[in-house]
Structure 1
Amino acid sequence: MKKVFCIGELLIDFVAENQGKDLSKAKEFTKKAGGAPANVACAISKLSGQSAFVGCVGNDPFGSFLLNILDKESVDLSLVQKSDVFTTLAFVSIDEDGERDFVFSRGADRELKYDSNLKNEFKENMVHFGAATALLGGNLEDAYSRYFFDALTQNAFISFDPNYRIDLWKNKEDIFIKKCIPFIQKSHLCKFSLEEAQLLSGKTDLKEACTYLHEMGTDIIVITLGGEGTLLSTKTYSKTIPSISVKPVDTTGAGDAFIGCLLKQIATHHNLEHTLENEDLLTAMVAMANKAGAITTTNFGAIESLPNQKQLVS
């Protein structure tokens, strides 16, 4: 089985549970572990895959809390760095349909420094780039770009999720799009939300959006559509794969559970090229990933809501 290296942020989500979507009215918050790439690493490990998290946390109680959570999920933490800068925080509100609103207080995640020793570990493994904060400048963006080059030169399977957050990119959408383009051009697999696919392609029609994004270079596109399932698109076929029916209470981490489950399944196959050209196999993988994402929405908090293998096959 190939190992999946997940690069990006690990942070504290302070969740205003059951208080609506308006953060200005929230009075009580619950501390949760968060950060899209870290969620993906946990999703993979929880499904008995091999994952490593590459990121930076503060040398403070919040950083310790986060690392303890990932350690309990058996994520490889040997590549995590610590900084004297405080651990990154996100304040999250959730409406009755499980949809979220974010406010970020950035800290240690941006301090990740490039480690040239990691290049050899990427060789013929898998690297997932989750970009919620990684394209916002600082050491993290520099390291992120250099790790991307390393993954390309080491014949790694590359997955990219832009993790667009309006709060972080308001009035700077053009910059966000420009920074995402190299990753879309070179990644084997890109996972988008509906909003992200439309923003990055400039197309409202999903078929046109996929055509545009494929022309950039990426081979496989998955666009998560919530309760409607996932649009799977390659350069030769396109289909919408339904999900299971659930009553969502918190959509935090659903996309991360989806891509984590999909990557874990891909990692079990030695011949990736043959696997990804097999329409029936890839369709089955996405259907399973849909189930993982749906299950995650049925509880509060991302990591503790991620399903294990038993839950997926039941």
Structure 2
Amino acid sequence: MKKVFCIGELLIDFVAENQGNDLSKAKEFTKKAGGAPANVACAISKLGGKSTFIGSVGNDPFGTFLLDILQSANVDISLAQQSEIFTTLAFVSIDKDGERDFVFSRGADRELKYNSSLKNDFKGSIVHFGAATALLGGNLEDAYGRYFFDALTQNSFISFDPNYRVDLWKNKDSFIKKCMPFVQKAHLCKFSLEEAQLLSGKTSLKKACKTLHDIGTETIVVTLGAEGTLLSTKNYSKTIPSIAVKPIDTTGAGDAFIGCLLKQMSGHPNLDTLLQNEMELTTMVAMANKAGAITTTNFGAIEALPYQHQLDS
């Protein structure tokens, strides 16, 4: 089984109690572990895969809490860093439909320093790039780009999720420009419908995927909530349905999806062959849909991520 390196942010989600309203009405919050790449790492490890998290937290009680959470989920945290800058925080409220209202208070996630010794570890591995805060400048963006170059030169299997957050990107054009090298070179890109439309400049999902394939990415998955996931390659396109659930919190559903998909892929002997196998890839996406759906039936991200026995039932 291949190791999956997940690069990006790890942070505290302060989730509002008395759900059903926006943040302006929230009075009490519960502390949860969050950050899309960290969620993906936990999703992989909770399903029995091998994941390593690369990111930075503060040298403070919140940072210690976050690393303990990852370690308890069997994520390898040996490459995580602790900074003297305070741990990054996000404040989240969930409305009556399970959708999120959130704001960030950035801190230690931006302080990740590049480690040149990891280059050889990337060979024969999967490297997942989650970009929620990684393209906002500073040490993190520098390290992110250099790890991307290392993954390319080591012929790693590269997965990319732009994790677009509108409150972090007032300049959409800058976000699009910074994502393009990853879309061009990644073997697998995971998008929401909004992200696929934003990065392609196309409203039609079919046209959006064609544009993104033309840019370079070989395989695209677009998560569509209750409708399932669009799986698109340069040879075919199909929507794979999900299971019916009653969602109470959509936080982490996309991370559960891509984590489950990458975990399955990490056990495949030849990923180039897998990407050409429509039937096998369809089966994997269907299982990943189930993981994402189950995650929406509980509050929080990491705590709600399923174990393998839940997917098998």
- TM-score tier, shorter chain, comes to over 0.9
Matches of residues 35-184 of structure 1 in structure 2 within 5 Å? 35-170=35-170, 172-184=171-183
Matched-pair contact (CA < 8 Å) for 2:11–2:33: yes
Q: Which residue of 2 aligns with 1:312?
A: 311
Q: Which amino acid aligns with 2:195?
A: E
Q: What does residue 224 of structure 2 align with?
A: 225
Q: Deviations over 1:200-255 (max 9, x none)?
A: 00101000000000000000000000000000000000000000000000000000
Question: d(CA) in 1 for partners of 2:165 and 2:270?
Answer: 35
* TM-score, length basis structure 2: 0.99
Asked if structure 1 preserves the Cα contact closer than 8 Å seen for 2:160 and 2:186, the reply is yes
Corresponding residue of 1:296: 295
Q: Cα offset for 1:139?
A: 0.1
**How many equivalent pairs are there?**
313
Partners in 2 of 1:139 and 1:20 — Cα distance? 37
Q: Look up the match of 1:23.
A: 23
Work out the CA distance in 1 between the residues paired with 2:33 and 2:101: 16
Aligned to 2:114, the other structure's residue is in SS state: coil
1:135 match: secondary structure: coil
- 8 Å Cα contact 1:229/1:241 also seen in 2: yes
List structure 1 runs of 4+ shifted beyond 4 angstroms: none
Q: What SS does the aligned partner of 1:177 have?
A: helix
Letter in structure 2 aligned against 1:127: V
Equivalent residue of 2:275, what SS? helix
Which ranges in structure 2 are unaligned for 5 or more consecutive residues? none
Matching residue's letter, 1:66: L
CA drift of 1:20 comes to 2.5
Asked if structure 2 preserves the Cα contact closer than 8 Å seen for 1:52 and 1:75, the reply is yes
Aligned 8 A contact 1:46 1:309 in 2: yes
What is the aligned-residue RMSD (CA, Å)? 0.6
Deviations 1:12-33 (A, max 9, x none): 0000133334111100000000
Q: Distance in 2 between matches of 1:75 and 1:134?
A: 20
Deviation of the 1:101 alpha carbon:
1.2
Residue 270 of structure 2 corresponds to 271
The TM-score with structure 1 as length reference comes to 0.99
